């Protein structure tokens, strides 16, 4: 077993226990800190808290009493701790602590931390600043109000005085629109760490933000966590739950890390994606647990206005050692991907009980900049996923998504509105207890998927497989135990692919130019 330091702060250390497990280690390990037993862990990515700043620590991992591996770490230097109680926060679940916490944040000098001790802190929206460590201690809850009048609004677009430029703050489903500011919000900040064992609680229910959720009411719904044009932001350890809409939404930001985070929203909640990086670069999601009402991770790059104007795809993203369960898709690319998505790699993950494993959602109208390339899934275990792989180029969940232009299966002329998919690779994947289909892949007839590779793939089906609709597109009929349904592809590579127990043909291919086995 390898033991690797992942990251550290002045008060915590994160290590990775690599014993070929996915999210969970194969064995249960004992963690010792300076020769004293600290905890037991069965998670590959494990966090150690309550350390002292600028101090040397020996982290030792034992299995059955035997030392397996050891590393030595020195925690970071820390100047001061700003305890929010000293700034007037009550933490009693009644008093509005927004201002007190905001005051502590704005007062925080470099190399210091704002500490939120155990307690329930009622807040509306707090804003991050640069060079900040915000620590939510164990049993600390930032508990959000749900009255929309308490939240500030981030305007979608503010025009410059010379009328030549614009300043974009709010974002809703790929467009620059007025939205309520997030419960925790960062605008143009850098070098921020949010860490700890505490919770950001959205308190959303069907009585507040999820009620009439498709209707704009004053402004669009807030995110739980939103960062816009930020850099070097790390979220570590905390739990975020019951979000009003997308839970974590990094937007036009780079150098981002999400490590050992827990994201939880009810399975029946509306549009509560877990983590949606949009037009972001260099993103790492590691050791994170996600169980939500929509897509666990949805990778985006805006709709056509933002894509044409700013041309920033999401790129250089890695998702490793994560567990995703429930929700519509485990990892989704789309549907707002007008500036493209490239160089995205998902590895060593567990997908459980989601409707789909990998899900690509695109459609005519996303535009010529909407190019998906170099996206891979490797070493993934899926269980009880309805359809492990879905690529849908006719996605209908848009205001104009059910128009003839979007839905026709006839080839239309390729023009500025036509998106494209270049290379998708799936390797070393075991999908057990599938229900609807092994794969359901539809490219556009006028812009076929260039290359699709399946290597070392095993599909098997649940004995009591449920029927369902594999893709949200017009013309996709309900089905059960379908094999690999593929259409509109230039080159399909199938190496060592086993489909066991499907009903009908294992591979149903339509308009596929070349199949290499």
Partner 1 sequence: MISRNKELEKKLMDLLEKAVQDANNKDCAMIVNAVIALYKATGEKEYADKAQQMLDKYAINAAQLTKDDGIDKYLWGNAFYNIGDYSDDSKYGDKAVELAACFDKQQRNKIGYFSSNSDEEIILNDFYCTQPFYMNYDTRNGGKEHYNDIIAQYNAVSGVFFDSCENSSDEYIRPYDLLMKNSDKIIKKMESNKGLYENLVYYAASLIDTMELMAQPLYEIYRRLQEYYKVAVKLLLLSKEQENGQDEAVYAMLSYVILKGCRMKALLTEKYENEAVKLLENIFHSINTQDQTFEATYVATAAFGYSEWIRNREYQDYGINKGGVLWS
Considering only 7-15, 31-39, 100-108, 307-315, which stretch makes contact with partner 1 by CB under 8 A? 307-315
Distances (CA, A) of 184 to 105, 180, 378, 514: 12, 11, 33, 49
Q: Of the candidates 13, 128, 136, 219, which one interacts with partner 1 according to CB under 8 A? A: 219
CA angle 474, 344, 415 (to 5 degrees): 50
Integer angstrom CA distances of residue 514 from 100, 301, 438, 482: 63, 30, 20, 21
**Taking CB under 8 A as the rule, does residue 334 contact partner 1?**
no
Give the range of 78-86, 103-111, 154-162, 192-200 binding partner 1 by CB under 8 A. Answer: 154-162
| 305 contributes a contact to partner 1 by CB under 8 A | yes
Strands in 335-386 per DSSP E: 341-352, 356-361, 371-383
Minimum CB separation of residue 30 from partner 1 in Å reads 52
Q: Residue 67, class by beta-carbon neighbours within 10 Å (0-12 exposed, 13-18 middle, 19+ buried)?
A: exposed
Binding mask 414-453 for partner 1 (x = CB under 8 A): ----------------------------------------
Q: Does 316 bind partner 1 (CB under 8 A)?
A: no
- Taking CB under 8 A as the criterion, the residue among 175, 318, 376, 425 binding partner 1 is 175
What is each CA distance from 69 to 2, 72, 126, 402, 475, in whole angstroms? 7, 11, 41, 57, 55
Q: Which of 402, 466, 498, 514 binds partner 1 (CB under 8 A)?
A: 402
Residue 407 in contact with partner 1, rule: CB under 8 A = no
Distance from the Cα of residue 279 to its chain's centroid: 13
Alpha helix stretches (DSSP H) within 342-383: none
Q: Shortest gap between Cβ of 170 and partner 1 (angstroms)?
A: 11
Task: Select 312 or 380, whichever has its Cβ closest to partner 1.
Answer: 312
Regarding 50 and contact with partner 1 (CB under 8 A), the answer is no
Identified binder of partner 1 from the candidate list 2, 40, 159, 513, rule CB under 8 A: 159
Residue 335: cis peptide before it, omega within 30 degrees of 0: yes
Contacts of 32 (CB under 8 A, 6+ apart): 38, 58, 59, 60, 61, 62
Q: Which of 97, 276, 294, 373 is catalytic?
A: 294
Give the closest residue to 286 by CA, choosing from 69, 44, 49, 71: 44
Note if 249 is an active site residue. no
Decide if residue 398 touches partner 1 (CB under 8 A). yes
Pick the piece of the chain touching partner 1 (CB under 8 A) from 21-29, 67-75, 212-220, 324-332: 212-220
Report the C-alpha gap between 308 and 188 in whole angstroms. Answer: 22
Please name every residue paired with 297 in a beta bridge, in sequence order, or none if there are none. 275, 331
Q: Is 215 in the site for partner 1 (CB under 8 A)?
A: yes
Binding flag, residue 304, partner 1 (CB under 8 A): yes
Q: Which element (helix H / strand E) includes 475?
A: none
DSSP labels, 22-91? SSEEEEEEEEEETTEEEEEEEESEEEE--PPTT-EEEEEEEETTEEEEEEEEEPPP---EEEGGGGT---
For the question of residue 212 being annotated catalytic, the response is no
Q: Which is nearer to partner 1, 140 or 177 (CB)?
A: 177
Cβ proximity to partner 1, 166 vs 503, nearer residue: 166
Using CB under 8 A as the binding rule, whether residue 273 contacts partner 1 is answered as no
CA–CA separation, 120 vs 122, rounded Å?
6
Contact assessment for residue 344 and residue 370, using Cβ atoms and an 8 Å cutoff:
no
The distance of closest approach from Cβ of residue 158 to partner 1 in the complex, given in angstroms and rounded to an integer, is 8
Binding segment toward partner 1, per CB under 8 A, in 153-161, 189-197, 339-347, 495-503: 153-161
Going across the sheet that includes 45-48, the strands are 2-8, 13-18, 45-48
Position 163 contacts partner 1 (CB under 8 A):
yes
Rounded CA-CA distance 11/492 in Å is 50
Helices (H), 351-453: 404-407
Is residue 11 a contact residue for partner 1 (CB under 8 A)? Answer: no
298 vs 494, beta carbon nearer partner 1: 298
- State the minimum distance, in angstroms, from the CB of residue 217 to partner 1: 6
Smallest distance from partner 1 to CB 309, Å: 5
Q: Which residue has the tokens 């995110």?
A: 223
Give the shortest CB-74-to-partner 1 separation in angstroms. 48
Using the minimum distance from each CB to partner 1, give the nearer residue, 29 or 209. Answer: 209
Identify which of residues 145 and 310 has a Cβ nearer to partner 1 in the complex: 310
Asked if 373 interacts with partner 1 (CB under 8 A), we say no
Residue 206 binds partner 1, judged by CB under 8 A: no
Query: How far, in Å, CA of 53 to CA of 80, rounded?
Result: 10
Question: Measured from the CB of residue 367, what is the shortest distance to partner 1 in angstroms?
Answer: 9
d(CA 49, CA 216): 41
The contacts of residue 516 (CB under 8 Å, 6+ apart) are: 491, 492, 493, 494, 495
Residue nearer to partner 1 on the CB measure, 178 or 455: 178
* Annotated active-site residue in 328, 355, 373, 435: 328
Least separation in angstroms between CB 260 and partner 1: 35
From the CA atom positions of the chain, what is the Rg in Å?
23
Note the residues at the interface with partner 1 (CB under 8 A): 155, 157, 159, 161, 163-164, 172-173, 175-178, 215-219, 303-305, 308-311, 398-400, 402-405
Which amino acids are annotated catalytic? 294, 328
């Amino acid at each position: 077993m390898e033991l690797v330091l992942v990251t550290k702060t002045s008060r915590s250390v994160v290590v990775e226990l690599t014993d070929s497990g996915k999210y969970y280690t194969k064995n249960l390990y004992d963690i010792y800190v300076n020769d004293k037993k600290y905890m037991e862990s069965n998670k590959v990515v494990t966090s150690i808290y309550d350390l002292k700043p600028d101090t040397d620590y020996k982290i030792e991992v034992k299995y059955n009493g035997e030392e397996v591996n050891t590393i030595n770490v020195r925690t970071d230097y820390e100047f001061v701790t700003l305890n929010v109680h000293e700034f007037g926060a009550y933490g009693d679940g009644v008093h509005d602590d927004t201002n007190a916490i905001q005051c502590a944040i704005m007062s925080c000098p470099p190399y210091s931390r704002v500490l939120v001790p155990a307690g329930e802190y009622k807040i509306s929206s707090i804003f991050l600043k640069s060079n900040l460590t915000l620590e939510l201690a164990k049993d600390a809850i930032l508990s959000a109000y749900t009255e929309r009048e308490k939240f500030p609004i981030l305007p979608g677009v503010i025009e410059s005085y010379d009328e030549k430029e614009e300043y974009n703050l709010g974002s809703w489903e790929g467009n620059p629109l007025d939205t309520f500011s997030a419960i925790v919000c960062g605008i143009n900040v850098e070098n921020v760490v949010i860490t700890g064992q505490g919770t950001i609680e959205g308190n959303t229910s069907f009585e507040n933000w999820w009620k009439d959720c498709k209707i704009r009411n004053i402004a669009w719904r807030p995110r739980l966590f939103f960062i816009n044009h930020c850099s070097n932001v790390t979220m570590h350890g905390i739990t975020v739950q019951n979000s009003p809409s997308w839970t974590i939404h990094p937007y036009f930001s780079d150098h981002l890390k999400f490590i050992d985070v827990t994201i939880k929203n009810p399975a029946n909640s509306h549009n509560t994606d877990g983590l949606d990086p949009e037009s972001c670069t260099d993103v790492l999601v590691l050791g994170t647990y996600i169980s939500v009402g929509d897509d666990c991770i949805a990778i985006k790059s805006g709709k056509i206005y933002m894509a044409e104007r700013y041309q920033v795809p999401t790129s250089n993203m890695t998702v490793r050692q994560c567990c995703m369960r429930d929700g519509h898709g485990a990892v989704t690319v789309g549907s707002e991907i007008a500036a493209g998505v490239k160089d995205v790699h998902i590895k060593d993950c567990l997908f459980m009980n989601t409707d789909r494993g990998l899900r690509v959602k695109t459609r005519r109208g996303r535009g010529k900049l909407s190019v998906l390339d170099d996206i891979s899934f490797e070493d993934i275990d899926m269980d009880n996923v309805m359809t492990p792989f879905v690529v849908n180029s006719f996605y209908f969940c848009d205001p104009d998504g059910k128009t003839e232009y979007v839905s026709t299966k006839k080839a239309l002329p390729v023009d500025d509105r036509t998106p494209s998919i270049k290379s998708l690779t799936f390797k070393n994947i075991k999908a057990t207890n599938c229900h609807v289909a092994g794969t359901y892949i539809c490219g556009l007839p006028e812009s076929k998927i260039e290359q699709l590779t399946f290597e070392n793939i095993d599909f098997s089906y649940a004995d009591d497989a449920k029927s369902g609709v594999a893709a949200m597109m017009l013309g996709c009929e309900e089905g059960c135990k379908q094999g690999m349904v593929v259409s509109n592809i230039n080159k399909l590579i199938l190496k060592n692919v086993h489909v066991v127990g499907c009903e009908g043909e294992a591979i149903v291919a339509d308009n596929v130019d070349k199949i290499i086995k």
